[in-house]
Amino acid sequence: MGPQTEQLSDHGAALRWSDGLRAALLGWLAARVAVGIGFLLAHGLSGSVALPDGRLHLDQGLMTWDGTFYRVITRGWYSGSEVPTDAVRFFPGYPAIGRVFETLFLGHTDLALLFVANVAAIGAAVLVWRLAAEGTGEPAVGIRAAWMVSIIPAANVMVFAYSESLMLLIATAVLWALLRGRPGWAALGGLAAGLLRPAGILLALPAAVEAFQWYRARNDLHQLAHDRSAEQATTEHGTTNHTATALRWGAAVGAPAAGLAIALWVVSRRTGDVFEAYRIQRQLRDGFRDPLSRLAQAGIDFAGGHLHDVYNVVFALGFAALFVIAWRHSQRLSWLAFMAVTWIVAVGGNNMDSVGRYCMVAAPFTIALAQWADTRARRVGVAAIALSGTVWFTSEVLLGRIIP
């Protein structure tokens, strides 16, 4: 454990989990009220606007869109007769946990999946508080981040039967473990992230950045010891400890890929092709395209009156602005790397659907928002815009006019 990690531990000891829980519950409750109002608005508008899928999503409620896939996978796993072939793009982490809780809810799959998603959302918000408070050294930033993470309009999926709340929970836990210099715990989280979503592999990048910084700091200390006294440079015991730590850092970097490989193997038992999940996802995304030219194309489409990507562009630009804020506030290099690769992957597709929820699982984006909202006026503005946006975005999702 180095000096920086010791300072983090000392600072973290002064934080009270109850403070983070209260702030997290505030945002959690507000988000669910906003989603409920969004349901009422959608039902009120359903008779006067065009519904691309009829009343399908209104009738499915909190189990709509991806929730329908998670339901059938949880019930029949990947070999069930009700499970469509393209369901293999949904990884087994969330359905596996759902199957465990399904027994507690007497076979009610919907309740089990919603319970897991909504409880994980609370846990995720609490961990975002802890990560923000320790990572920035400002407890007030942590408090703001704890309630803000739940009310971002794209975070409305954490109320539905989606895996985003679990992904936010695990990804934040990995970043916290890396922050505290605990690569072994980060490896366990990275493995779980790979089992949960294909994008879980992106956590390998912040782990690699932190591993490199550990390696560089170790070499600097080794050189300092050598300069002071050649005889005290490195003991056999010290070498053994460094080797064990290096192996743990290597595991933290490689664990997301290992989780991904296991997930692909599990879902491939349905198709016999270990890469089928990626092929289906690639088809849905319509191939990769660099984000800047994709945004430029969206601008051309807007000029021609085609506004189908308007929400996704708003989210893309909003998260890009948060990255700039994070940069100006000198967030950790590993956090910046995680935000950048998450944004590039989310925006870099010819099909830009779901940009918002793909980006919101990277907690440093929310931490940047909390750092920016350092005045009462800004905090009130964030709350008002985010909650009204959640209401409207939820209604659009339920009317089938936007894919969450």
DSSP 151-209: HSGGGGGGTTT-SHHHHHHHHHHHHHHHHTT-HHHHHHHHHHHHHH-GGGGGGHHHHHH
- The confidence band for 233, taking pLDDT boundaries of 50, 70 and 90, is very low
Query: What pLDDT does 280 receive?
Result: 84
Query: What pLDDT does 210 receive?
Result: 98
Query: What pLDDT does 221 receive?
Result: 61
Residue 73 has pLDDT above 60, yes or no: yes
Say how far apart CA 233 and CA 141 lie, in whole Å. Answer: 41
Residue appearing with tokens 């919101």: 360
Among 126-140, 221-235, 244-258, the range scoring the smallest mean pLDDT is: 221-235
* Residue type at position 125: A
Mean pLDDT, range 3-15, rounded to an integer: 62
For residues 43 and 58, the answer to whether their CB atoms sit within 8 Å is: yes
The more confidently predicted of residues 27 and 297 is 27
- The confidence band for 338, taking pLDDT boundaries of 50, 70 and 90, is very high
Say how far apart CA 102 and CA 94 lie, in whole Å. Answer: 12
Mean pLDDT, the chain, as a whole number?
91
Say how far apart CA 273 and CA 286 lie, in whole Å. Answer: 20
* Residue type at position 173: A
For residues 59 and 182, the answer to whether their CB atoms sit within 8 Å is: no
For residues 106 and 147, the answer to whether their CB atoms sit within 8 Å is: no
* Residue type at position 298: A
Please state, for a pLDDT cut of 90, what percent of the chain lies above it.
Answer: 73
- DSSP label at residue 153: G
Q: Model pTM?
A: 0.93
User: H-type helices in 137-163, by residue range?
Assistant: 139-151
Tokens of 207: 């782990």
Q: How many CB atoms lie within 10 A of CB 312?
A: 25
- Closest by Cα among 33, 327, 342 to 172: 342
For residues 29 and 75, the answer to whether their CB atoms sit within 8 Å is: no
- The confidence band for 231, taking pLDDT boundaries of 50, 70 and 90, is very low
- Which value, to the nearest 10 degrees, does the dihedral of the CA atoms of residues 271, 273, 275, 276 take? -30
Please state, for a pLDDT cut of 70, what percent of the chain lies above it.
Answer: 92
Say how far apart CA 239 and CA 186 lie, in whole Å. Answer: 22
Residue 379 has pLDDT above 60, yes or no: yes
* Axis-axis angle for helices 164-179, 363-372 (nearest 10): 80
Residue 253 has pLDDT above 50, yes or no: yes
Residue 230 has pLDDT above 50, yes or no: no
Tokens of 199: 């994008």
- DSSP label at residue 77: G
Neighbouring residues of 281: CB distance < 8 A, sequence distance ≥ 6: 89, 198
Query: What pLDDT does 49 receive?
Result: 92
1 half-sphere exposure, CB direction, 13 A CA radius: 10
Mean pLDDT, range 145-154, rounded to an integer: 98
- DSSP label at residue 349: B
Task: Look at the chain and count its residues.
Answer: 404
